[in-house]
Homo-oligomer: A and B are copies of this chain.
Amino acid sequence: MKTPTTIADIPTPALVLDAAALQRNIDRMAKFYSNSACKLRPHFKAHKTPEIARRQLAAGSCTGLTCATVAEAELVAGFCDDILIANEVIGSDKVSRVAEVADRGVDIKVAIDSMDGLTQLAEAARNRGVEVGVVVDINVGMPRCGVAPEAAMDLAGKAAQTAGVKLRGLMGYEGHAVGIPERDKREHVAKIAMERLFLAAASLRDESLPCEIVSAGGTGTYDITGRIDGITEIQAGSYALMDTAYAKLDIPFEHAFWVLGTVLSRPTPTLCVLDSGHKSCTEDHGNPDVRDIPGASVLFLSDEHASIMLPADSKIAVNDRIQLVPSHTDPTVNLHDVIYVLDGDKVTDVWPISARGYAEQRRHG
């Protein structure tokens, strides 16, 4: 099968990327942090695409990259020597793989929120003869991982005394704040969350424990949390590609990717059906929008179909191409193996979404 040369040749459904819009988003974010004590640590989980991560690093203002999984860290270690896995890593295979990444000369740090997590990681590091960085994960308000601020000092103190790991500081993700559309409310919730993080940080410093890293934030709070004194880095990811959920916020980033579909059916004057269902575009943040067709909207997605309501006078026909604007970047990107890079209607490149899915499974397949 030939690589497509224009958008009309791309086999659908597929992701398409406006490379210029992507670069504008990356440059805008890099500029924001260029004269800032707080730096950017772009989250790789959002796009899982090395070609995008390389551009984020090249734009500057970055301390390194954030990853969600060991498989992502293994991949980005090929081009980035400063990685934070902003997530707990549990299980003998996975902690060994973290130690292997450290052994490649990468300054890798992992979130911990339990003695089990600390012990497993330290043992794997000692077995490999390396030292792995740790940050204590603080629960800053969302019912997910992280210890309470009051418990941070205890776990940090144990980490500081454990051979194989090196205490580097703290992290706390205000995931319950980043998506709030109203700026005043988002700011309010983010600031309360960061007070919890600073309570933990103060307790470490009181005991003279290392706390060089205080990591937080996301795309929705890049200019809120990212401007609070004491936060050292922001883990934003979605800003590069954007989605309709983040577009509801007053942030200066553009949609840079879409799901391309083909009109399979035109059953009534006000309905068309695309081949881009929710196996190609997730709906966990709601239905996607329809790009560039005034008055058109998604009626519902099925596995392999998008039923689209059209204005009564629509000239849309079978074989036409229609683009959907995803409501949630991360899981939508994860459904595809490549993203087709466009300059206007020309396909200029095809970038592998190398960290899509589970590398572990592909080794077992």
Contact = CB atoms under 8 A, between A and B. Distances in A.
Interface of A: 1, 3-4, 9, 11-14, 45, 68-69, 87-91, 93-94, 113-114, 116-117, 120, 137, 139, 143-148, 175, 262-268, 271, 273, 275, 278-280, 282-284, 299-305, 307, 317-319, 330-331, 334-338, 340, 350, 352, 356-358, 360-365
B364 A350 contact: yes
Contact of A361 (B264, B265, B336): B336
Contact of A335 (B90, B117, B148, B334): B334
Interface centre among A263, A264, A352 (most CB of B within 10 A): A264
Contacts of A266: 114
A66 to B, nearest CB: 12
Nearest to A306: B144
Given A114-B266, A267-B145, A338-B361, A318 B11 contact: no
Counting every copy of the chain, the complex holds: 2
A319 B265 contact: no
B3 A113 contact: no
Contacts of A330: 279, 303
A175 B365 contact: no
9 contacts: A11-B91, A11-B361, A68-B304, A91-B319, A113-B265, A114-B318, A120-B319, A144-B267, A144-B305
B175 A302 contact: yes
A145 B358 contact: no
Given A91-B319, A145-B265, 19 more contacts: A45-B303, A45-B304, A90-B275, A117-B265, A143-B267, A143-B299, A145-B273, A145-B305, A148-B267, A278-B282, A279-B330, A284-B284, A303-B330, A303-B331, A335-B335, A337-B362, A338-B361, A338-B365, A340-B364
A144 B364 CA distance: 38
Contact of A283 (B284, B317, B335): B284
A348 to B, nearest CB: 13
A192 to B, nearest CB: 18
Nearest to A70: B11
Contacts of A1: 93, 360, 363-364
Name, among A4, A284, A336, A340, the residue most crowded by chain B CB atoms within 10 Å (CB to CB).
A284
A317 B116 CA distance: 9
A268 B69 CA distance: 23
Nearest to A270: B143
A267 B302 CA distance: 36
Contacts of A340: 364
A72 to B, nearest CB: 10
A304 to B, nearest CB: 5
Contacts of A263: 90
Contact of A336 (B262, B337, B358): B358
Among A265, A331, A352, find the residue whose CB has the most chain B CB atoms closer than 10 A: A265
A150 to B, nearest CB: 13
A115 to B, nearest CB: 9
Given A267-B113, A364-B338, A302 B144 contact: yes
A273 B143 CA distance: 9
Given A3-B364, A278-B331, A365-B338, A264 B87 contact: yes
A355 to B, nearest CB: 11
Contacts of A148: 267
